[in-house]
Amino acid sequence: MMDRSNTVATIRDNALWMRRRAFQMVHAAQLGHPGGDFSATDIVATLFFGVLRYDADLPRKPDRDRFVMSKGHATGVLYTALCRAGYYPEEWLDTYMQPGSKLNGHPNRQYLPGVEANTGPLGHGLPIAVGIAIAGQIDGAEYRTFVLTGDGEMQEGSNWEAAMTAGHRKLENLTVIIDRNRLQQGQGTEQTSSLDPLPEKWAAFGWEVFEVDGHDCAQLLEVLGAAPSGRPRAVIANTVKGKGVSYMENQAKWHHGVPTDAQLAQAMEELV
């Protein structure tokens, strides 16, 4: 088996930097969705620093892998990953959600290199990713398409239409990762509209299904980096909303929230 310990260590280092920087951005902007940023950080870091093929100097290179951030409100984690990957300088992060900034509250591919699709209205990212994967299948292209969704987002019917299409077409070049933190704006997903049994639902649509610890970078790297196997792949990543900061973890109120100066200082002490 290939020794991936150095890669996992690099992913973890980047994930730590991303959490710290994203929270500083939210504090400065007095806007953001840090709970969902933090539940998804290890997933996004694993993709950008262990799985995806890309060239930050050539962001539209035809053979690049595609990543669609369907939970488009989680821009803190997306923008820090793109910055760390070399798409733009760190100074841009200081403009987060400021007037005239390229770093909007939702990602815009017209403004930022590395953004594949404008997202924000939930339920759009997976259908877009299915279209990208179909194009790759028709062209015989080698690129793979990855899409990250929230679990509350699974209550949108457009996702299940897209899942049915992908299963029917056996889009082995497509992977969806569901950030399964079990919280959405206001309350738990199961109190809003029950999603369980989620693995069985994806399997019924013809997908190969995996359940992983969404904060275990070694597990994520193994599953997300595996070769295609003839079917689209659904990775249900069990995560903790607000992961890494004690007062945020598993708290629905941090779906969107802004830290005080004291809370930011505490977070910086805990995120080490």
Query: Each residue of 245-269: pLDDT tens digit?
Result: 999 999 999 998 999 999 999 999 9
pTM: 0.96
| Cβ atoms of 113 and 65 closer than 8 Å | no
Give 48's DSSP letter: I
Q: What is the CATH number of the domain that holds 41?
A: 3.40.50.970
- Alpha-carbon gap, residue 190 to 187, rounded angstroms: 9
- Alpha-carbon gap, residue 165 to 159, rounded angstroms: 10
Q: What pLDDT is stored for residue 187 in this prediction?
A: 86
Q: Which domain holds residue 88?
A: 5-270
Q: What pLDDT is stored for residue 121 in this prediction?
A: 87
Kindly report, residue by residue over 66-83, the tens digit of the pLDDT.
Answer: 999 999 999 999 999 999
User: How many domains are contained in the chain?
Assistant: 1
- Alpha-carbon gap, residue 103 to 40, rounded angstroms: 18
